[in-house]
């Protein structure tokens, strides 16, 4: 298993924040409100899994559309 690299994760978090800052405010604010509503009850990991599953489904749909 690869060694934990805190600096690489910090750098990736900075890149993610920059990417988020390029999204429309209404999208970011809606997601932030949703996250804030649920994170104390479910935890960050579970919320992240929900979003990753949505992204995977969207990727599958795009792949099938192109095929």
What is the chain's mean pLDDT, rounded? 93
If one counts the domains in the chain, the total is: 1
Whether 20 is covered by a domain: the verdict is no
Whether 28 is covered by a domain: the verdict is no
What is this structure's pTM?
0.75
Residue ranges of the alpha helices (H) in the chain?
6-21, 25-42, 44-66
CA distances in angstroms from 10 to 5, 6, 22, 47, 66, listed in the order given: 9, 6, 19, 20, 35
1: pLDDT confidence band, cut at 50, 70 and 90?
A: low
What lies within 8 Å, CB to CB, of 20 at 6+ separation is 28
Residue 67 has pLDDT above 70, yes or no: no
Residue 62 has pLDDT above 90, yes or no: no
**Average confidence (pLDDT) over 11-25:** 97
64: pLDDT confidence band, cut at 50, 70 and 90?
A: confident
Which residues span the domain enclosing 57? Answer: 35-67
Whether 58 is covered by a domain: the verdict is yes
Whether 41 is covered by a domain: the verdict is yes
Whether 16 is covered by a domain: the verdict is no
Whether 12 is covered by a domain: the verdict is no
């Amino acid at each position: 298993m690869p060694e934990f690299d805190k600096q690489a994760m910090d750098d990736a978090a900075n890149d993610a924040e920059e990417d988020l800052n390029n999204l429309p405010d209404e999208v970011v604010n809606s997601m932030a409100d949703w996250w804030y509503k649920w994170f104390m009850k479910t935890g960050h990991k579970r919320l992240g899994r929900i979003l990753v599953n949505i992204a995977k489904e969207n990727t599958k749909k795009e792949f099938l559309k192109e095929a």
